Amino acid sequence: MNSINEHHIGNKFVNPRLMFWVFAGALLTLAVNNARSDEIPSKVTHHQIEISGFAFIPKELTVYAGDTITWINKDIVPHNIFDSTHKKSISPDLATGETYTFTAESSMLYECGLHRSMKGMLSLNNMP
């Protein structure tokens, strides 16, 4: 970069139009790179797990890292999501019709903290 700058700026025949096109080219490169990085989120899949009849449907789900999972409670009683692999709460209690969205970072077995017999499994697949 330094050698280019010294070469062109030190040259009294430097053409302002040339500098404009160099600048325009840099902007275009930035725009193209931004468009490329915008493609990454489109690869994320949004999954939905229904909580219905005291069960998670589907009970087992394989996702890629970064995918989002939304649980929706379709029962008339509250349910929540508790990560039984890492022993931590994922969602608060969800009333009827409430949803909770979560980004997958690791595999986990989970259950409803209010009804421990309700179990589900999230498997993380690291190979896209």
User: Site residues (CB under 5 A) for Cu ion?
Assistant: 79, 112, 114-115
Q: Which residue's CB is nearer to Cu ion, number 25 or number 97?
A: 97
Q: Write out the DSSP string of 40-93.
A: TGGGPPEEEEEE-SSSEESSEEEEETT-EEEEEE-SSS-B--EETTTTEE-S--
Minimum CB separation from Cu ion for residue 112, in Å? 3
The helix or strand, by DSSP H or E, that contains position 16, with its residue range, turns out to be helix 16-37
Minimum CB separation from Cu ion for residue 45, in Å? 25
Q: Which residue's CB is nearer to Cu ion, number 22 or number 114?
A: 114
Minimum CB separation from Cu ion for residue 57, in Å? 13
Minimum CB separation from Cu ion for residue 120, in Å? 11
Q: Which residue's CB is nearer to Cu ion, number 79 or number 110?
A: 79
Cα–Cα distance measured from residue 90 to residue 56, given in angstroms and rounded to the nearest whole number: 15
Q: Which residue's CB is nearer to Cu ion, number 8 or number 119?
A: 119
Smallest CA-to-CA distance from 61 within 52, 77, 50 is with: 50
